[in-house]
Structure 1
Amino acid sequence: MKKILYLAISLSLLSSCDMDLDQQPISAASSETYFQTIGDFTQGLNAIYSAAREYPDRLMNLAETRSDNLFAVSDGGVRDWEGINSFHRNILSNPYVIEAWQTDFMGIFRANNYLEQLTTKGEAVIIDTDLRRRMEGEVRFLRAFYYFDLIRYFGRVPLIDRVVSANEAKTIPRSAVSEIYSLILSDLNLAVDYLPAPSAYADQDKGRVNKYAAKMLLGLVYMTRSGPDLGVDGAGLNTNEWGEAVKQFDEIIASNEFQFLPTYTEIFDYNNERNKEVIFNIEYSSGASPVVGATFPWVLVPDTWFQSLGFGTQGGLTIRPVSKNLLDKYEEDDVRRSFSIQEGYVYNTNVEENRPFIKKFVDITKVPTTSRMDWPINYIVYRYTDLLMLKAECVLNGAPGSTVTDVDAVVNAVRERAGLSSTLTGVTKGQLLEERRREFIGEGSRWFDLIRSGTVEATIKSWIAAEDSGGQMEDFKIEYVLYPVPQSEMSNAPGLYEQNRGY
């Protein structure tokens, strides 16, 4: 599947649409003349995958930077991430916020169009029933994936599950989060039924979404719904579905398709892609034209570090330092710290930079020579360690079938792999959250972990008080667990959307 993004982006009929609600996702004429062969349907499906290209960058910009893992205040001029990090109210036109809304909806619009074409033409064009069902399962997963991403960032969003005209799109208001969840659950349950296991895919399709990726997302959806209602129309609904999540996770475990790898570094090895930890990843293809390699390895890395290594400029990014609070949480000899964090370097001959930053996804032997946008590495969205630790969280929230002893076993296995000899007993929710923080540094999990656990307000307020001695950050308000609806969308159809509180 390394060519999926390339084929999708090069397909002008399916990638020329505007990304906001001001335009139809794909013109009726293009759809009518395009979906005529299996190849057309394959490339149309690839175009839906391509909307995920920015997903890992978004996690780093809107989740990792928002959390207490980074203290990314301005350093030499105002940066787009400063308002994200420092909880500014005036981020309605922030490019990261706009990208999240527009790109996810682009994927949804493409999915809706594809499903319509599959209904009207699929049976005649795609004779193989199993292939047709698999294609529908992939699209249903991706639509659920994009909608879940939206509600975690924005809460209520427009529910659009069919092809609509530009004028009709301007009349569709934001729906309740519970209604969006209904569509997500429906799509994922169908995806589970229609998708094969990863081992059933032919080699050229190994990177496509599989049955267990759908189960993983379904379990995470149940967990997120079970989180507290924070009074902001967000993703938590207090549904207490921890047991439902465990059912999904247990079926993935029982499949024996995945493994807990013995060393931490091999999970992210450029020469070990699609390893047994990977339940679902976003695939990239470096060296293509147009460029469709990965960009996420570079997002949190300052340009001067690349210069210090002799690679020249990589785009001018300044440092987003790891917070002191997070550094202090690592025990001595924890391999996750040394692998994930760069602590100090010298550039321009004698300029010292002592602030640490996340280098987790950088292999200095693989630095692109022609474009920083072309890293040759996939992004792991769901991995087996995450599944095990999420299941442990469910158990600590009362899910039946396992005990605290089982939770201890998972946490201690993670710690042992990290090179730590001390063991924990009677692991608490707080201890589990901190272990997840160390394990998934740079992967965008921390912000959503804090929201789902209901600890976000107390944690962030306490962290700001301790970390921000210079008073550069604004006060945290619970409304900031959501981002604002972009101003471009508010202006597109005046009066249609009510802005999220606090902005």
Structure 2
Amino acid sequence: MCLRHFSKIKFIIFFAVVAVGCKKIDLTPKDRYTDDNFWQVNANAFNALATCYSQQISGGQPGSSSAAQAYFYNEALSDNAFCPLDVNVGTPTQISSGSDANFNPGINRVKYEWGSYYTNIRSCNLFLENIDKNTTLGATLIGRMKGEARYLRAHALFRLTNFFGDVPLITKVLTPEEAKVIAKTPKADVVKFILSELDAAAAALPKKEDLAAADRGRVTKGAAKAMKARVLLYNNQWAECAAVCEDLMNNQAENGTYALQASFPDIFSATNKYNSEVIADLGYQQPDRTWGDWGDFGPFYTGPGATASSVSNLVPTQDLVESFLTLDGKNIFEPGSGYDENNAPYANRDPRLGYTVVYDKYVWVNNLGNSQVIYIKPGTAPDPTNKKNEAGPTATTSGYYWRKYYDPTAPKGTFSSGENLIIQRWAEVLLMEAEAKTMLGQMDAAVWDKTIKPLRVRAGFTKNTALNYPGNTTMKMIDQVRNERRCELAFESLRYDDIKRWKIAETVLNHQPGNEVRGAKFAAGNTAFIKLVVRTFNPAKHYLWPIPTESLQTDPNLTQNPGW
């Protein structure tokens, strides 16, 4: 009897153990987040999406330039600017030199540009793969957040295609093993994916008027469509680009209401953020998130107690200055323009020149509200002891400083700016429409009056010769439209892409010895243009950047771009 009882007890214990073993045991740690519970916390979901936003421009790779540095110093890759000391700001001068010793697959800038955007893509993929685990935010908000992440991923892929051409199209979080065997996808297929993603994002995103005040700066329907227009423009899909621009222009009740600001400088004011012209931007805010790069761009000394720069490390070129038309709409070198190179080179010019560039005898208003004349031409300052802004190796190497993006609200004694950096604005939509229509052979007075004319009116042109179609110049219409884009959008990180997609880089970036990049006419006793730097652009290789050496070494399925 005792044996029978013992056997029964053993059976009961065995059954209990088996029953427990068949039941799912919750082993989720309670003291830290895991894949099972991280996304259930709303704050975590928003922070994950915020990470995607923060990596939009070269911000995802350790050691890479900050977003503001990349935004501004990309101008020195183009014919708009020169950077004398470039080691800590993404080496734009080394790259634009075209020398194999300075620009090759092993330099940090190539590695960081590639790595930053793929870091951003991974963050977006991680978000998109996991956000549906959240059960409290609701389907509508989660749909909107997915739209934001899809836009950001598309933008990162777009930037990669602009630099590298064919690139791996990565739409999921890769394992380390998968990352080592992935191959390039043809650029045309990547662009097709980008466009479809921007369509999906636009369908899921609200127009800007429907965003709460606390959500200003998030991607909107209008931003997704404007970015689609840019992608189409950059890939020579003129008719499709024009269709998107006209949708934005004609259907604002659906896409969001945008308009040119009445005053050009007000577009970039720290006290006028999210204004009617801004479509997409990078948000900054005093004192929590700021950028201080402008301290290397502006005049050295602007009055006692005012902000004062220590070095001018990104200077406008003479070529940029010469691109601004005269007030009657002529190129400065055309007969009858009235351009006086030696005595009054900055008079009677497109007012955007003075909104963009600080030139000799510029009347500057500092952050104390005081005005002073900036003397840059050597030997002209009334007080010979005050030469802090005079052109030279310890001031401006080109004879010019930047004006655009100056923030007079920065704390006195600093250049800590809370001004947002604009990624797209309404003026670009008008310029994309003008360019696409011109390339289609459809530019006429009606198109001009909706695109070029309002930009010139806002800039401050008043003469009909400059305002009315077809303009008062012997320039071809496409060159006139491209020049308008250059003057309107200078210093907004777009020129390098423009000269490459127009296939004019080998013309405007080739500056061999004896034909160096020029500054103002302040050399040799103010009788010759300053010679700044030698540049080389080899069209057989430089239209695409090289794939980084490290990536080729770790992934044998990647192939190097031609010429590298």
Q: TM-score range by the shorter chain?
A: 0.7 to 0.9
> Are the counterparts in 2 of residues 58 and 96 from structure 1 also a CA contact under 8 Å?
no
Alignment of 1:406-425 (within 5 A): 406-407=447-448, 409-420=450-461, 421=463, 422-423=465-466, 424-425=468-469
- TM-score, with structure 2 as normaliser: 0.72
Q: How many residues align?
A: 448
**Residue from 290, 293, 305 that aligns with 2:290:** 293
Distance (Å, rounded) in 2 between the aligned partners of 1:309 and 1:441:
30
Matched with 1:6 is none
Matched with 1:179 is 189
Q: Shift in Å at residue 485 of structure 1? A: 2.4
Aligned with 1:281: secondary structure?
A: strand
Matched with 1:499 is 560
> Are the counterparts in 2 of residues 34 and 40 from structure 1 also a CA contact under 8 Å?
yes
Alignment of 1:175-324 (within 5 A): 175-226=185-236, 241-256=237-252, 257-288=257-288, 292-295=289-292, 297-298=294-295, 301=297, 305=300, 318-324=312-318
Whether 1:151 aligns to 2:146 is no
Matched with 1:18 is none
Distance (Å, rounded) in 1 between the aligned partners of 2:173 and 2:87:
45
- TM-score, with structure 1 as normaliser: 0.80
Distance (Å, rounded) in 2 between the aligned partners of 1:494 and 1:308:
56
Q: Shift in Å at residue 406 of structure 1? A: 1.6
Q: Which runs of 5+ in 2 are unaligned?
A: 1-31, 58-65, 327-347, 361-373, 377-384, 392-398, 472-476, 519-530
Select the structure of larger CA radius of gyration.
Answer: 2
Q: Shift in Å at residue 498 of structure 1? A: 2.6
**Residue from 431, 442, 459 that aligns with 2:480:** 431
> Are the counterparts in 1 of residues 205 and 221 from structure 2 also a CA contact under 8 Å?
yes
Distance (Å, rounded) in 2 between the aligned partners of 1:309 and 1:149:
43
Q: Shift in Å at residue 224 of structure 1? A: 1.3
Matched with 1:383 is 425
Aligned with 1:480: secondary structure?
A: coil
> Are the counterparts in 2 of residues 51 and 107 from structure 1 also a CA contact under 8 Å?
yes
The 1:77/1:180 distance shift into structure 2, 3 A limit, reads closer
Q: Shift in Å at residue 272 of structure 1? A: 0.6
Q: Deviations over 1:296-355 (max 9, x none)?
A: 544x616x72687756786x6543331112212223243211121122557994344331
Matched with 2:124 is 111
Distance (Å, rounded) in 2 between the aligned partners of 1:252 and 1:468:
39
The 1:308/1:172 distance shift into structure 2, 3 A limit, reads farther
> Are the counterparts in 2 of residues 104 and 146 from structure 1 also a CA contact under 8 Å?
yes
> Are the counterparts in 1 of residues 70 and 89 from structure 2 also a CA contact under 8 Å?
no
The 1:358/1:84 distance shift into structure 2, 3 A limit, reads farther
The 1:472/1:200 distance shift into structure 2, 3 A limit, reads closer
> Are the counterparts in 2 of residues 75 and 318 from structure 1 also a CA contact under 8 Å?
no
Q: Shift in Å at residue 274 of structure 1? A: 0.4
Distance (Å, rounded) in 1 between the aligned partners of 2:33 and 2:560:
35
**Residue from 358, 367, 390 that aligns with 1:353:** 390
Distance (Å, rounded) in 2 between the aligned partners of 1:499 and 1:311:
50
Distance (Å, rounded) in 1 between the aligned partners of 2:496 and 2:51:
29
> Are the counterparts in 2 of residues 301 and 358 from structure 1 also a CA contact under 8 Å?
yes
Q: Which protein has greater RCO, CA pairs closer than 8 Å, 6+ apart?
A: 1
Q: Which runs of 5+ in 1 are unaligned?
A: 1-27, 227-240
Q: Shift in Å at residue 465 of structure 1? A: 7.2
Q: Which moved more, 1:189-198 or 1:473-482?
A: 473-482
Matched with 1:448 is 497
**Residue from 395, 420, 424 that aligns with 2:437:** 395
Q: Shift in Å at residue 489 of structure 1? A: 2.9
The 1:252/1:471 distance shift into structure 2, 3 A limit, reads closer
